[in-house]
């Protein structure tokens, strides 16, 4: 079975997307395209090649702006300016019936690779994510993210550490 991850566009059918978190469903259906048109964020959708309009999952990326170096984990602060430029994985979701099949991992790794490419063009030191729950923060920790000392639900990954 082949899968593709593409930039969200008008051809994608979002009407039946349901990941179990209403806010993430509503954002994809009502806001993702608007934000894309205004360059606020970019959304990427996962489809099976045989059903190229049915969205299985999505993630969105945005600029996080400057983050105070002091907020970072101790081992990541070294030799950085007072404020560090960062990107954010603003949203990540997989439709309920497709969860636990590896699509969340597929989307997260794609997001990390994309962020690495972007940073090679314009800089950017960290990728951040705001986890909804502690259990979800464990999901991100598995892929190399570290929680901020001040808030276990905010995690960061040094972009230089993305393979």
Ligand X SMILES: CC(C)(COP(=O)(O)OP(=O)(O)OC[C@H]1O[C@@H](n2cnc3c(N)ncnc32)[C@H](O)[C@@H]1OP(=O)(O)O)[C@@H](O)C(=O)NCCC(=O)NCCS
State the CB neighbour count (10 A cutoff) for residue 7: 10
Choose which of 5, 92, 111, 159 interacts with ligand X (CB under 6 A): 92
Choose which of 15, 22, 78, 135 interacts with ligand X (CB under 6 A): 135
Task: Name residues contacting ligand X, limited to 7-26 (CB under 6 A).
Answer: 19-21, 24
Using rule CB under 6 A, residue 99 touches ligand X: yes
- In the complex, the smallest distance separating the C-beta of residue 100 from ligand X, rounded to whole angstroms, is 5
- In the complex, the smallest distance separating the C-beta of residue 41 from ligand X, rounded to whole angstroms, is 15
Using rule CB under 6 A, residue 93 touches ligand X: yes
First to last CA, the chain: 25
Which part of the chain contacts ligand X (CB under 6 A), choosing from 67-75, 78-86, 135-143, 155-163? 135-143
Name the residue number minimizing CB distance to ligand X.
104
- In the complex, the smallest distance separating the C-beta of residue 105 from ligand X, rounded to whole angstroms, is 4
Residue 8, SS3? coil
Task: Name residues contacting ligand X, limited to 46-75 (CB under 6 A).
Answer: none
- In the complex, the smallest distance separating the C-beta of residue 145 from ligand X, rounded to whole angstroms, is 11
* Sheet of strand 3-7, all strands in order from the earlier edge strand to the far edge: 3-7, 42-48, 57-68, 83-94, 126-130, 151-158, 146-148
Residue 24, SS3? helix
Name the nearest CA neighbour of 162 among 114, 130, 122, 129: 114
Using rule CB under 6 A, residue 148 touches ligand X: no
Q: Residue 112 contacts by C-beta under 8 Å, 6 or more apart in sequence?
A: 127, 143, 157, 162
Name the nearest CA neighbour of 61 among 11, 114, 13, 19: 114
- Which residues bind to ligand X, rule: CB under 6 A? 19-21, 24, 92-94, 99-105, 131-132, 135-136, 138-139
């Amino acid at each position: 079975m082949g899968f593709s991850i593409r930039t969200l566009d008008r051809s994608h059918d979002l009407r039946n997307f349901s990941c179990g978190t209403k806010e993430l469903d509503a954002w994809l259906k009502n806001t993702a395209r608007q934000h894309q048109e205004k360059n606020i964020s970019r959304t990427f959708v996962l489809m099976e090649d045989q059903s190229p309009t049915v969205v299985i999952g999505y993630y969105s990326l945005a600029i996080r702006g400057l983050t105070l170096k002091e907020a970072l984990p101790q081992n990541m602060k070294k030799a950085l300016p007072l404020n560090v430029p960062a990107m954010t994985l603003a949203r990540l979701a997989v439709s309920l019936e497709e969860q636990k099949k590896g699509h969340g991992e597929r989307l997260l790794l794609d997001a990390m690779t994309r962020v690495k490419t972007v940073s090679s063009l314009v800089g950017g030191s960290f990728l951040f994510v705001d986890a909804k729950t502690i259990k979800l923060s464990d999901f991100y920790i598995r892929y190399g993210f570290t929680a901020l000392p001040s808030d276990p639900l905010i995690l960061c990954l040094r972009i230089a550490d993305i393979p």
